[in-house]
Structure 1
C-alpha cells in the first residue's frame, strides 16, 4: 500500500515539475515595455472638417435594399468628389452597381498583385429617441448647403448627424463604423498623390454601401467586378479588430491590437413546433409552446463543443505573457489542463464566442391571446460558426435537438460558412504589426477571430490574405457606442488612423 502511495505521489510531483517547466519555457510573446507614444500626432484641421462634413450626411441603410433612401448616397458621392479632387483626378475611378465606389492608384510594376483597402458609406440608424428637425451650417467644400437632416438629440452629446467637433472628438453616427476609416483611406491616398509617391504595386480602395444589411449589392458586386477582371490581391484590409485599451480585456494587462484573420459563419433558422391548439380552459398535457421550450432548453444546454482552434491558440500565445501565472500555466499545458481552460473560457460571453459555435435564441411567436393555445409556435435561433464547424454540422446539431417533435425548420437571413483563416507569416500581416508599432509601440499585436460579420468575407474570391483591423485605440465605453448612442472618434485616433494606412501604402514593398 505504501509503495502505491509513493508511486502516486511521485507521479504527482513529476506532473507538477513538467507543468512548471512547460509554463516557464512556453514561447509566450514578450510584452513590449516601450513606453514611448510612437508617431507624434499632427493635427490636420482640413482632414477633420472633411470627415465632419461626411458625418452630416445621413447615409442610413436599413431593411431591404428596395426600401433604401438613396438620396444621401447620391449626396455622399458628390461630397467625396468635391472633397478629394486629387484622388478622383489621379486614379481610375469606377462605380459598381451605382453606389459602390472603386479607386485604383496605379503602381510602377503591373506584374505585382495589388493591395485592397475596404470600407463602406452606409451607417446604422441613430436609434429611437426624441426627433427634431435641424438645419445647421453643414460643411461642404463647394459651400453649397446639404439638406436638413433629422437629429436624434436624446442620449447624444451632439446630434448623430451633427458632425460636431468638440472635446478632442468628432461626433456622429458612423464616426467609428465606419466613415472614419473611409475618410482616413482617402486622406492617405490623397497624401500619396500630393507627395508624388508611386508605389510598386497598384493600390485599390473599394467602398460598399450596404454592409450594415449584408453587403449583397455593394461588396459582393464589387468582388464580382474584380473577379471578372481576373484581379488577385496580395492583401485585403478591412474593419474587424481594434486596439483594446489596457484594462478592457479581463486578465490581460496591456493594450491589445486584435487583428481578425478569420470571421465566424452565420446561420439563422426558424423552427416551427406543432402541437394541439384550443382554449386554455382545456389544455392538452403537452402544448406546442411547452414542446418549443424543451427544444430551446436542449439548444442552450447542449451547445456545440468548444475547442481551442490554432488561430485562438496563437492569440493566447501572443497575449499570455501579460496574463497571470495561472492563466499562463493553463495555456502552456493544454495537454493536461485543456478541459479546465475551456471550462473557464466558456463561462465568459466574450471568450466563449472565441472557442465555440455560439447559440442565440432571438425571436419567438405563439398565440396572440392570453386564453388561446396556438397549434404552432415558432422561434428563431442564430448560430455563429467557429472555423472548423460547418453549416452541415449545425443542421445535424439542430436535428438532434428537435428529435421526437413535429417541427418544420427553415433557413432565414444570410447563410454563410465560417471564413478561411488567413496566414500570419505574410508580408501583409507583418506590415500590420509594423504599422501598429508605429502608432502604439506598447500594444501587443495578435491574430484574432472576428465574431461579427464584415464585407471582407466576400473578397475571398479575389484574395487569400484577408485581415480585419481598424487601427484605433478604444475603451469599453467607446466600444459600446458603436451601433449605439453617442458614437464618436477621437481626433488623436483619426490622425493616427490616417498615418497608419499611409504607412502601409508607402511601405508595402519595403518589407
Structure 2
C-alpha cells in the first residue's frame, strides 16, 4: 500500500514538474519592448474639417436590404469629389451600382497583384435622436453649402450629425464605424499623390454603401466587378479588429492589436411551433408556447461544442505572455488542461464567442391577447458560426433540438458560412504588424477572430489574404459607443489612421 502511495505521489510530482516546465518553456510571444519613441501626433486641421463635414451628411442605411433613402448618398458622393480633387484627378474612378465607389491608383509594375482597402459610406441610425430635415450652412472645400440636418438628443454630447469638433474629439454617427476609416484612406492616398510617390503595385480603394444592412448592393457587386475583370488582390484590408487599450481586456497587461484573420458565419432561423389553440379557460396539457419554451431551453442548454481552433490558439500564444501564471499554465498545457481552459472561456461572453458557434434567442411571437392560446408560436434563433462549423452542422443541431415537436423551420436574413482563415505569415499581415509599431510600439499584435460581419467576406472571391483591422486605440467606453449613442473619434486616433494607411501604401513593396 505504501509503495502504491509512493508511486502515486511520485507521479503527481512528476506531472507538476512537467506542467511547470511546459509553462515556462512554452513559446509565448514576448511582450513588445518599446524600441522606438511613441508616435507624435501632428494635427492636420484641414483633414479634421473634411471628416467633420462628412459626418454632417446623414447617410443612413436601414430597413429592408438595400431599400432606403439614397438622396444623402448623392450628397456624400459630391462632397468627396470636392474634398479630394487630387484623388479623383489622379486615379481611375468607377461607380458600381451608382453608389459604390472604386478608385485605382496605378503602380509602376503591372505584373504585381494590387492591394485593396475597404470602407463604406453608410451608417446606422442615430438611435433616439430627433432628426429633422433642414437646410444649414455645412460648407464644402469650395465654400458651397450642402444639405444638412438639425437634431436634438439628450443622449449625445453633440448631435449625431453635428460633426462637432470639441475636447480633442470629432463627434458624430459613423465617426468610428466607419467614415473615420473612409476619410483616413482618402487622406492617405491624397498624401501619396501629393508627394508624387509611385507605388510598385496598383492601390485600390472600394467603398460600399449598404454594409450595415448586408452589403448585397454595394460590396457584393463591387467584388463581382473585380472578379469579372479577373483582378486578384495580394491583400484586402477592411474593418474588424482594433487596438484594445491596456486594462480593457481582463487578465492581459498590455495594449492588444487584434487583427481579424477570419470572421464568423451567420444563420438566423425562424422556428414555428404548433399546438392547440383556443380559450385560456380550457388549456391543453401542453401549449404551443410551452413546447417552444422546451425547444428554446434545449438550444440554450445544449449549445454546439466549444473548440480551440488554430487561429484562437495562436491568439493565446501571442497574448499569453502578458497574462497571469495560472492562465499561461492552462494555455501551455492543453494536452492536460484543455477541458478546464474551454470551460473557463465559455463562462465569459466575449471569450465564449471565440471558441464556439454561439446561440442567441432574439425574437418571439405568440398570442395577441392575454386569454387566447395561440395555435402557433414562433421564435428566432441566431447562430454565429465558428470556422470549422458549417451551416449544415447548425441545421442538424436545430433538428436535434426540435425533435419530437411539430415545427416549421425557415432560414431568414443572410445565411453565410464562416470565412476562410487568412495566414498570419503572409507579407500582407507582416505589413500590418510593422504599421502598428509606427503608432503603438508596445502593443501586442495578434491574429484574431472577428465575431461580427464585415464587407470583407464578399472579397474572398478575389483574394486569399483578407485582414480586418482598424488602427485606432480605444477603451471600453469608446468601444461601447459604436452603433450606440455619443459616438466619437479622437483626433489623435484619426491622425494615427491616416499615418497607418499611408505607411502601408508607401511601404508594401519596400
TM class by shorter-chain length?
over 0.9
- The answer as to whether partners of 2:57 and 2:148 remain within 8 angstroms in 1 is no
- The answer as to whether partners of 1:241 and 1:258 remain within 8 angstroms in 2 is yes
- The answer as to whether partners of 1:115 and 1:236 remain within 8 angstroms in 2 is yes
Q: CA deviation at 1:136?
A: 4.4
Task: Give CA-to-partner distance per residue, 1:445-489, whole Å, 9 cap, x none.
Answer: 000000000000000000000000000000000000000000000
1:380 and 1:192 map into 2 onto residues whose CA distance is 48
Q: CA deviation at 1:141?
A: 1.2
233-242 or 39-48: bigger deviation: 39-48
- The answer as to whether partners of 1:49 and 1:139 remain within 8 angstroms in 2 is no
1:288 and 1:30 map into 2 onto residues whose CA distance is 56
Q: CA deviation at 1:129?
A: 3.7
Q: CA deviation at 1:10?
A: 1.1
1:434–1:66 CA distance, 2 compared to 1 (3 A): closer
1:375 and 1:14 map into 2 onto residues whose CA distance is 63
1:256–1:7 CA distance, 2 compared to 1 (3 A): same
> 1:110 corresponds to which residue?
110
Alignment root-mean-square deviation, CA: 1.1
| SS class of match (2:145) | coil
Task: Give CA-to-partner distance per residue, 1:129-163, whole Å, 9 cap, x none.
Answer: 44556654313112121223142422101001000
- The answer as to whether partners of 2:271 and 2:407 remain within 8 angstroms in 1 is yes
1:160–1:46 CA distance, 2 compared to 1 (3 A): same
- The answer as to whether partners of 1:279 and 1:371 remain within 8 angstroms in 2 is yes
Q: CA deviation at 1:410?
A: 0.2
2:174 and 2:37 map into 1 onto residues whose CA distance is 27
1:139 and 1:403 map into 2 onto residues whose CA distance is 62
2:483 and 2:36 map into 1 onto residues whose CA distance is 33
- The answer as to whether partners of 1:289 and 1:377 remain within 8 angstroms in 2 is yes
- The answer as to whether partners of 1:38 and 1:437 remain within 8 angstroms in 2 is no
2:419 and 2:267 map into 1 onto residues whose CA distance is 13
2:133 and 2:67 map into 1 onto residues whose CA distance is 22
Q: CA deviation at 1:286?
A: 0.3
- The answer as to whether partners of 1:163 and 1:170 remain within 8 angstroms in 2 is yes
1:256 and 1:67 map into 2 onto residues whose CA distance is 38
- The answer as to whether partners of 1:189 and 1:502 remain within 8 angstroms in 2 is yes
1:344–1:244 CA distance, 2 compared to 1 (3 A): same
1:268 and 1:155 map into 2 onto residues whose CA distance is 31
Aligned residues: 510
2:269 and 2:297 map into 1 onto residues whose CA distance is 16
Q: CA deviation at 1:398?
A: 0.4
2:404 and 2:6 map into 1 onto residues whose CA distance is 53
For structure 2, list consecutive stretches of 5 or more residues without a partner in the other structure. none
Task: Give CA-to-partner distance per residue, 1:232-257, whole Å, 9 cap, x none.
Answer: 00000000000000010011010000
Task: Give CA-to-partner distance per residue, 1:239-291, whole Å, 9 cap, x none.
Answer: 00000000100110100000000000000000000000110000000000000
2:150 and 2:267 map into 1 onto residues whose CA distance is 35
1:340–1:65 CA distance, 2 compared to 1 (3 A): closer
Provide runs of 4+ in structure 1 moved above 4 Å.
130-136
Task: Give CA-to-partner distance per residue, 1:360-383, whole Å, 9 cap, x none.
Answer: 000000000000000000000000
| SS class of match (1:193) | helix
For structure 1, list consecutive stretches of 5 or more residues without a partner in the other structure. none
- The answer as to whether partners of 1:126 and 1:152 remain within 8 angstroms in 2 is no
| SS class of match (1:200) | coil
| SS class of match (1:133) | strand
2:410 and 2:271 map into 1 onto residues whose CA distance is 7
> 2:503 corresponds to which residue?
503
> 2:391 corresponds to which residue?
391
1:478 and 1:76 map into 2 onto residues whose CA distance is 25
- The answer as to whether partners of 1:130 and 1:154 remain within 8 angstroms in 2 is no
Q: CA deviation at 1:34?
A: 1.6
Q: CA deviation at 1:8?
A: 1.1
> 1:4 corresponds to which residue?
4
1:199–1:36 CA distance, 2 compared to 1 (3 A): closer
- The answer as to whether partners of 1:99 and 1:208 remain within 8 angstroms in 2 is yes
| SS class of match (2:459) | helix
> 1:273 corresponds to which residue?
273
TM-score between the two structures when normalised by the length of structure 1: 0.98
| SS class of match (1:138) | strand
Q: CA deviation at 1:35?
A: 8.0
- The answer as to whether partners of 1:315 and 1:447 remain within 8 angstroms in 2 is yes
